[in-house]
Amino acid sequence: MNRLHILLILTALLLVGCGGSGTDESAPAVDDSTATTNSNNDSTNDSESDSESEAETSTEDEGASEDNQESESPQANSNEADSNDENIDAGFNFRSVVNVDLHLDVSAISDTKSYVSLCHYQASSSTDINYEDCLVRGSTSYGVFAATFDAAPHFEQLGLVVWFIDTSIQPLQFEVSRMEMDMGEVHIVAGN
């Protein structure tokens, strides 16, 4: 049985008894508050009470919460879950964005100040820049600009535009591809 299969079975199990917050936990509380008095970082051994609480079955909460809006209780299937652990790597943090270094050099065209915008394209266009939806905006120094940005997985391509205050110099536009983003580095040198 592969891991995904296990996960799907577990999903079905979860749907039987799961719930959000609102009422209290299902198990009768094990009062170990005395063990933590005076220190919120006290790691005094309370494994016994932990084990007990994991084995509890669902009951109504005894602590009458003013938030008692939801009838569901936290699941009481920890033992079942334990048999299926290690499905997802403990070190995997679910982060899916890519950090990208951007380097731009337009000094061959002009070393006067110019303005850089790295943006999404307009909806249903692969050429028109959406200046309201940029990731990076800045200005060159002696024709050079550097920045970092985070690219989400659904970014297919981005547009980079350089505008010169001297409008006799035409603005430059470049495309940043998904492949470049995945490589974590974008180098653009204009005029060579």
Partner 1 sequence: MTFRNTLYAIATIAIMPLAQSYATEFEQCPTQAFLIQSPSGSAIIYGVDLASGDYDTLEPGMSISKLNGVGFNFHDNYLYGWDYDAQTLAKIGSDYVSQPLNIVSGLIGQPFFVGDVALNENAWYGYRPSVGLFRVDLTDPAAQLSMTQVATANSMGNPKLTDFAFHPTNGLLYAVDNDGFLMEIDVNDGSTTVLGEVLNETNAGFNFTFGAQYFDVDEHLYISNNSNGYVYKIDLKSQTPTAEFFAYGPKSQSNDGARCALAPVEVTVGMDFGDAPDSYSTSFATSGPRHLESALFLGSQIDTEVDANLYPQSDDAASNIDDEDGVEFVTNMEVGEAALVRVTASEANGVLNAWIDFDGNGAFDEDEQVFTDKALNKGTSTLSYTVPNWAEAGTTWSRFRISSIEGLGPTGGVSDGEVEDYPVAITQQNVSVTYYPSANDYTSLAYEDLWPVKGDLDMNDLLMHMRITEFRKNDQIIKLEVTGKVAAVGAGYHNGFALQLPGVAPTTVDESRLQIEINQQTASHAVLETDQTNAVFIVMPDVKAHVDINQGCKFFRTEANCANSQLPTWKLTIPFIDGVAQNSFPAAPYDPFIFATEGMHHGSRVGNVTGGDPGRLWEVHLKNQAPTDSLHSRLLGRDDDRSDPLLGLFYQDNEGLPWALEIPATWQHPLEKVDIRQAYPMFAEFATSEGAVNTDWYQPNNANVELLYKEEN
The least distance separating partner 1 from the CB of residue 107, rounded to whole angstroms, comes to 16
Count the Cβ atoms, other than its own, within 10 Å of residue 110: 19
| Dihedrals phi, psi of 15, to nearest 5 degrees | -70, -20
The least distance separating partner 1 from the CB of residue 12, rounded to whole angstroms, comes to 9
d(CA 149, CA 184): 9
Q: Which amino acid is at 123?
A: A
Count the Cβ atoms, other than its own, within 10 Å of residue 140: 21
Q: Smaller CB distance to partner 1: residue 37 or 192? A: 37
**Can you read off the two tokens belonging to residue 66?**
């003013």
Q: Smaller CB distance to partner 1: residue 167 or 192? A: 167
Q: Smaller CB distance to partner 1: residue 96 or 192? A: 96
The least distance separating partner 1 from the CB of residue 185, rounded to whole angstroms, comes to 16
Q: Smaller CB distance to partner 1: residue 124 or 192? A: 124
Which residue is it, tokens 């592969």? 2
Q: Smaller CB distance to partner 1: residue 153 or 191? A: 153
The least distance separating partner 1 from the CB of residue 188, rounded to whole angstroms, comes to 16
Q: Smaller CB distance to partner 1: residue 67 or 111? A: 67
The least distance separating partner 1 from the CB of residue 144, rounded to whole angstroms, comes to 12
The least distance separating partner 1 from the CB of residue 189, rounded to whole angstroms, comes to 19
Burial 30-61 (b: 16+ CB within 10 A, else e): eeeeeeeeeeeeeeeeeeeeeeebeeeebeeb
Select from 163, 187, 186, 159 the least CA-distant residue to 174.
Answer: 159
d(CA 107, CA 92): 42
